[in-house]
Structure 1
Amino acid sequence: MERREFIRISGLIIGSFLVTSKMVIANNVNVLSTYSNEFVKKIISIIIDLKNEGSNLVKKIMSGKKYEYNPYTHYPYDGGIKDEETGYQVFFHIHRENEYGHFHTFATDENGELLHLVLISMSEDGKPIGISTVNRWVTGDKYVKANILKTLAKNFSIDPNLYIDKRVIEFINNIFKAYTNEIENLFDDRDLMIKNYVDTNFREPFEDRELEILSFKEIKI
């Protein structure tokens, strides 16, 4: 099975490993500033608008479907939302403690292979509470160095009109714009974590099922 197919077929690669994995945070938690730029304000505006409607980002991405603590269940549907023009995609699922669920975000390279960017953790009331990078075994994607991921993250864009409520996609797009520097730091922290792991264990960490999260930053809104 090609790596690029794993999203389309209900996340079986992710699910088979995440259920039994032990979450390890490889870096100290850093709290992100929440009022630093216009894109953060856009995120807050989306959250407030949805709250005034009696809804939130999590409810919108779940689109009326049952809450399932199951890595095999993807929202809003199997495979998630993919922009065929830009190659970026996103889906939401639920299987980790200390969060209500999370978004996985991806890019594709020139050969169409998946490259995981960041995981966006969400609270039950639909607020972002953290961003992370994950080990390669988690998503089965292709490993590339931080400098490549930085370029891809900087250009992240999914057409908001690809989803029934475009504010969900606008939120994802704005996360990448609001926290550009922090996301770049996450990639650097990830690469440093990998280097330190290799120096200590004399092997790469990519198949270490005890190591899920390679870098993490907390968000408070």
Structure 2
Amino acid sequence: MALAALSRERLKEMQFAGNIIQDCYRVLKKADQNVVGQCLAHQGKFYELDHYPKGDVYDREHHAQYYYHAHRKESGEHGHFHTFVRAKGMPKGIAPAPYKGDAKRPMGNDALAHFIAISMNGPGFPIGLFTTNRWVTDETFYKAEDNIAMLDRFRIDHTFPCLAVNRWITAMIDLFRPQIKELLVVRDKTIKNWAATHPGIDVFEDRDLEITSIMNIDVDRQIAAVEAALGDQRKSA
């Protein structure tokens, strides 16, 4: 993905996020830990589909939320994080995507928007991003453009289950913002195309449509791409 077209301000924000991620890895490595391990610590036996840490991680100031779980062995991942913002953290004027079906959705103060899932490998490092159909996380569901407008609202600023993990996941959303935007747009196109080819089915509740967009990622390559884009902008200034 070409990053040179991004504003210098956005690239500097991504550069800062990359520095945070590297620093989180540094301090975790000192204790022979990783971000996944910190979420699973003191949680008892690990069960697929259960949320970790128990009760999820929620920031009462920013109303952002995440949890870790596993259920996609065939993908080669260990598990993945799901990231959200709840109603009280959403900008004014944001409304759920139009829906004519009969399924119940969390609304009002219970509304929530799912941003992205972050796939993790066995050693505890991110290897991919993907979006999901509404039923997967039981979100309210918002249009891609509204989800994108809310990305800056994802902030986890406390120490449960671990400060390094919370800084890391917040920075991941910032570092990979261009990719997340692209994946959300593709998500909406996938759902629209699925609905067109499956008439009479509530597309948002169709269990045959789970992953709506997916992409492999590499933190080091993304950081290098950001540095290269900043360098190109300096040369052309």
Q: Give TM-score, length-normalised by structure 2.
A: 0.72
Could you tell me whether the CA contact under 8 Å between 1:118 and 1:132 is conserved in 2?
A: yes
Pairwise CA distance, 1:164: 4.2
Is the counterpart of residue 191 in structure 1 residue 188 in structure 2?
Answer: yes
- 2:39 corresponding residue in structure 1: 61
Higher relative contact order, structure no. (Cα contacts within 8 Å, ≥ 6 residues apart): 1
CA distance in 2 between partners of 1:198 and 1:212 (Å): 13
RMSD: 2.0
1:142 aligned counterpart, secondary structure: coil
1:50 aligns with 2:28: yes
Q: Which has the larger radius of gyration?
A: 2
Deviates more, 1:110-119 or 1:184-193: 110-119
Any idea what the Cα deviations from partners look like across 1:2-27, whole Å, max 9, x if unmatched?
xxxxxxxxxxxxxxxxxxxxxxxxxx
Q: Which whole-Å deviations, capped at 9, do the CAs of 1:59-110 have from their partners, x for residues lacking one?
A: 1111233452421x22111x20111221111111122211111111111125
Contact 2:39 2:161 in 1 (8 A): no
1:83 maps to which residue? 59
- Contact persistence 1:102–1:122 (CA under 8 A): yes
Separation in 1 of the partners of 2:191 and 2:152?
A: 22
- Among candidates 173, 176, 201, match of residue 176 of structure 1: 173
Match of 1:123 in 2: 121
Q: Identity of counterpart residues, as a percentage?
A: 34
Determine the C-alpha separation between the residues in 2 that align with 1:95 and 1:75. Answer: 13
| Structure 1 residue 136 displacement after superposition | 0.7
Query: Is the 1:69–1:95 contact (alpha carbons within 8 Å) kept by the matching residues of 2?
Result: no
**TM-score after normalising by structure 1:** 0.77
Q: Tell whether the 8 Å contact from 2:85 to 2:153 is kept in structure 1 after alignment.
A: no
Question: Aligned match of 1:38 in 4, 8, 16?
Answer: 16
Q: Is 1:132–1:217's contact at 8 Å kept on the other side of the alignment?
A: yes
Q: Report the alpha carbon displacement of residue 154 of structure 1 after superposing the two structures with TM.
A: 2.5
The aligned residue for residue 94 of structure 2 is: none
Instruction: Determine the structure 1 residue equivalent to 2:162.
Output: 165
The runs of 5 or more residues in structure 1 that have no matched partner are: 1-29
Alpha-carbon distance between aligned partners in 2 of 1:134 and 1:145, rounded to the nearest angstrom: 13
* Structure 2: gaps of 5 or more residues: 4-13, 89-107, 220-237
User: Larger % of helix: which?
Assistant: 2
Moved over 4 A (4+): none
Cα–Cα, structure 1 residues 168 and 107, in superposed 2: closer, same or farther, change >3 Å?
Answer: same
Equivalent of 1:220 in 218, 221, 232: 218
- Could you tell me which amino acid in structure 1 is paired with residue 62 of structure 2? T
SS of alignment partner, residue 160 of structure 1: coil
State the aligned residue count: 185
Does structure 2 conserve the Cα–Cα contact (< 8 Å) formed by 1:105 and 1:116?
Answer: yes
- Distance in 1, Cα, partners of 2:112 & 2:27: 33
Q: Is the 8 A contact 1:194 1:204 kept in 2?
A: no
